[in-house]
Amino acid sequence: MGCWLSAIGYRLSRDPRPPRRFRGFRGFRGFLPVLCLRLLRLEARRLRPSHRTVQFDGGRERHQLRLQRAVLEWLQQNISFFECPDREVEEIYYFRWWSFRKHIVQTTNGFVITEFLTPVRHAGIFNTISCAAGFHLAEGRWLRDGRYLDGYTLFWLRGNGGKPQPHFHKFSSWFAAAACDRYLVNGDTRFIAGLLDDLVADYRVWNRNGS
The full set of domain ranges for the chain reads 1-102, 105-211
User: Full-prediction pTM beyond 0.85?
Assistant: no
Going by the DSSP 8-state scheme, the letter that residue 160 receives in this structure is B
State the chain's mean pLDDT as an integer.
76
Amino acid found at 27: G
**Confidence band of 27 (pLDDT split at 50, 70, 90):** very low
Dihedrals phi, psi of 79, to nearest 5 degrees? -110, 160
Q: pLDDT tens for residues 157-178? A: 999 999 999 999 988 889 999 9
**pLDDT value at residue 211:** 56
**Confidence band of 210 (pLDDT split at 50, 70, 90):** low
Which residues neighbour 121 within 8 Å (Cβ) at sequence distance 6 or greater?
Answer: none
**Confidence band of 153 (pLDDT split at 50, 70, 90):** very high
**pLDDT value at residue 5:** 40
**pLDDT value at residue 180:** 95
Length of the chain: 211
8 Å CB contact between 175 and 156: yes
**pLDDT value at residue 48:** 36
Q: pLDDT tens for residues 40-59? A: 444 333 333 333 334 445 45
